Amino acid sequence: MNNRAKIISLAVVAAFAILVLRLFYIQVIDSSYKYDAQNNVLRREVQHPPRGEVYDRNGELLVRSIASYDLMAIPRDVKEFDTLTLARIAGVTPEKLKQELAKAANYSRRRPSVIVKQMSLESKLLFDEGDFSGFYTVYRTMRSYPRKIAGNLLGYISEVDAATIERDDYYQTGDYRGMSGIELTYEDVLRGEKGISVSVVDVHGITKGPYMDGAADIRAVPGKAITTSLDARLQELGEELMEGKVGSIIAIEPSTGEILVMVSSPGYDPDELVGRDRGNNYMKLLGNPRRPLFNRGVMSRYPPGSTFKVVNGLMALQEGSVTGNQKYPCHGGYTVGRGLKCHNHFSPVNMRQAVQTSCNTYFCYVFRDFIDNQKFGDPKQALDVWNEYLYSFGFGRSLDSDLSGELSGYVPTREYYDKAYHKRWNSLTILSLSIGQGELGCTPLQMANLATIIANRGYYYTPHIVKRIEGRDSIDSRFYERHRTMVESRHFDVIVDGMYDAVHKTGGTGWRAYVPGLDICGKTGTAENPHGADHSTFMCFAPKDDPKIAVSVYVEHGGFGGSVAAPIASLIIEQYLTDTITRPEMVDAVKQTTIPYPYYDRQK
């Protein structure tokens, strides 16, 4: 009995000791209960920074942030309130207000939930004048676009999804991030850094003032401003010229790789993807058969057509399979094998004249001379070399620009033809590549980059849209790196001369691009299209000897490249180099030209 009494006594002492130690831990060491008590009187609110502004190269504001407020509620703190008044202030129906409040209560009665998003400053001031216990507002910003241009290039922001929140702990439910364009590419720069505001609230949830006079607050850091290389006036002109047409205009400054214009037509008003109607507007744009949300400048894969002939000519000159003075006859087409037709022009022609007249026959000879050159061993090895040349020109791969959604285009390989033709093919089988047809696919950005390569006589800088970032001395170092092609500079002169003649001489296919005194050098392209009228394309730069701008225009179903694309490109160049347009009648003619889009018309 004595032993049993001792054991019971020890157990009681141990239990008492544990209880004392636990009380000491709770009261002295553990601060969680203290924090829980503070949470009953303190409200911690995330302070969302305004996103950085976006400007054009001349300092004109393209994207700004304006004040916006989310109406929040803590369901357990909500008392009786005037539903009609609050609904009117928030700009929603009473039914919608009740529905969101019920949804919040089901989620959590203690945690704050968003009831109404993106209230205006006027609504917030009216709310502050009322007595709505359990409700409060949180400051946010939303985007606004003063010029209503370049929607696909600038991009849009939208609420983050669960996958984004899980992937990046910066974001919480209800946050917004860039979803496309510059907003996406430079999200880390534009979004800024969140802050924290700690306020004292009473039992009714009404804010009484900052906690510790704001000493516990963390100030939000606004996003950094970005200056783009875009020329807003030139962009606006490009969009006007492309109205009623499907396609793209891209202009680049050859000496830097800075993108001056990027038009994707049809486009959209970027303000359509802002505010409470964003969801409805997005679905309308998504359902449009002409796909205005699709940035054709970097995402379309087009056959380059005759603009590509200059690349085949350059690599043949480099390899010595042809000389600039070598002539070939043309009598309406190339007649070997299945052959290729050509339009009427003088004959025979050398390299310069072939570029001027866009002779299909000449470049069939040139292409076959390259592929069948014995120095490569056989056509398959020659095609491997051909691929290496194209890679150095930026084809068949991404250019590594700072444009979201940039695709690589497509360059067929020997493996592709081995599979397609059971390894039985030769230079005649792939002859369509000589004039930029067949399986070849290029983005408008790649074609504009080709124009810069020719303008620079053999090199380019990675195309990019951002010129400066606030607080930084320079942009990404990759945009300062010069990329050289496999073709020596000396071989470019004959191509440049041919492009000059195409615009300035009788018989040149690009004569509609002529502007007195500007020395425009251009190359037309008429890309065959099995689904309707041919596509119209034109590639050019100016001036000839001191290039300031390179342009590529692609108009789907536009027909001959010299008739539609060339005038558009010349107007872009004239506006940029002279800050004026001397041919208003051509502007009117281009604007009045609408190109049927078969798929869209069938859908309507």
DSSP characters over 255-291: TTTEEEEEEEES---GGGGSSTTHHHHHHHHHH-TT-
- The whole-angstrom separation of Cα 563 and Cα 542 is 19
Are β-strands 113-119 and 340-341 bridged in parallel, bridged antiparallel, or unpaired? unpaired
Greatest CA separation found in the chain?
Answer: 128
Domain boundary assignment for the chain: 42-75+98-228, 232-276+297-603
Say how far apart CA 469 and CA 53 lie, in whole Å: 10
DSSP 10-56: HHHHHHHHHHHHHHHIIIII--HHHHHHHHTTEEEEEEPPPPPPEE-
Which of 467 and 66 is assigned the larger pLDDT? 467
Beta strand pairing call for 521-527 and 258-265: unpaired
Instruction: Determine the average pLDDT of the residues in 435-449.
Output: 96
Fold of 42-75+98-228: Penicillin-binding protein 2a (Domain 2) (3.90.1310)
Please, are residues 314 and 492 in contact by the beta-carbon 8 Å criterion?
yes
Can you read off the two tokens belonging to residue 25? 């831990």
pLDDT at 541 over 50: yes
Token reading at 200: 């004292």
Query: What is the spatial distance between Cα 150 and Cα 239, in angstroms, rounded to a whole number?
Result: 8
- Entry pTM: 0.87
Q: Tens digits of per-residue pLDDT, 347-380?
A: 999 999 999 999 999 999 999 999 999 899 999 9
Q: Which of 388, 391, 412 is nearest to 400 (CA)?
A: 391
Instruction: Give the whole-angstrom CA distance, residue 350 versus residue 326.
Output: 5
For the segment 491-512, the average pLDDT, to the nearest whole number, is: 96
Domain range 232-276+297-603, CATH architecture = 3-Layer(aba) Sandwich (3.40)
**Using CB atoms within 10 A of its CB, is residue 602 exposed (0-12), middle (13-18) or buried (19+)?**
exposed
Does 437 score more than 90 pLDDT?
yes
Per-residue pLDDT reduced to its tens digit, 467-476: 999 999 999 9
What residue has token string 């929607």? 151
Which pLDDT tens digit goes with each residue over 290-331? Answer: 899 999 999 999 999 999 999 999 999 999 999 999 999 998
Looking at residue 64, its pLDDT comes to 94
Query: Contact 498/314 with Cβ under 8 angstroms?
Result: no
Question: What's the token pair of residue 157?
Answer: 């922001």
Assess contact for 576 and 548: CB atoms under 8 A.
yes
If we measure between CA atoms, which residue out of 495, 599, 514 comes closest to residue 557? 599
Half-sphere exposure of 84 (CA within 13 A, CB side): 0
Cβ 91 vs Cβ 116: under 8 Å: yes
Mean pLDDT of 28-53: 69
pLDDT of residue 21: 75
- The confidence score (pLDDT) of residue 55 equals 98
Q: Residue 558 corresponds to which tokens in the numbers above? A: 């536009």
pLDDT value, residue 211: 78
What is the distance of C-alpha 51 from the center of its chain?
A: 18
Q: What mean pLDDT comes out for the span 492-517?
A: 96
> DSSP strand E in 457-561: where?
459-461, 466-469, 482-484, 521-527, 535-542, 549-555
Predicted confidence (pLDDT) at residue 71 exceeds the cutoff of 90: yes
pLDDT of residue 35: 47
How far is residue 403's CA from residue 400's CA, in Å, rounded to a whole number? 8
Residue partners of 293: CB distance under 8 A and separation at least 6: 152, 268, 282, 285, 286
Q: From the centroid of its chain, how far is CA 461?
A: 18
Cα distance between residue 584 and residue 522, in whole Å: 21
- First-residue to last-residue Cα distance in the chain: 100
SS3 138: strand
Considering the chain, what percentage of its residues have pLDDT values greater than 90? Answer: 73
pLDDT score of 453: 98
Examine the pLDDT at 601 and tell me if it is beyond 80: no
Q: How far apart are CA 117 and CA 426, in angstroms?
A: 63
- pLDDT of 1 reads 56
pLDDT, position 421: 94
DSSP secondary structure, 358-417, as one string = T-HHHHHHHHHHHHT-GGGSSHHHHHHHHHHHHHHTTTTS----S-TT----B---HHHH
pLDDT at 26: 62
Q: What single DSSP character describes residue 544?
A: S
Q: Report the C-alpha gap between 545 and 543 in whole angstroms.
A: 6
121 or 234, which is more confident: 234
Average pLDDT over residues 68-77: 90
Return the pLDDT at 598.
Answer: 66
Q: Where are the alpha helices (DSSP H) in 483-536?
A: 492-504
Report pLDDT for 302.
94
pLDDT digits (tens, 9 = 90+) for 73-104: 989 889 889 999 999 999 999 999 999 999 99
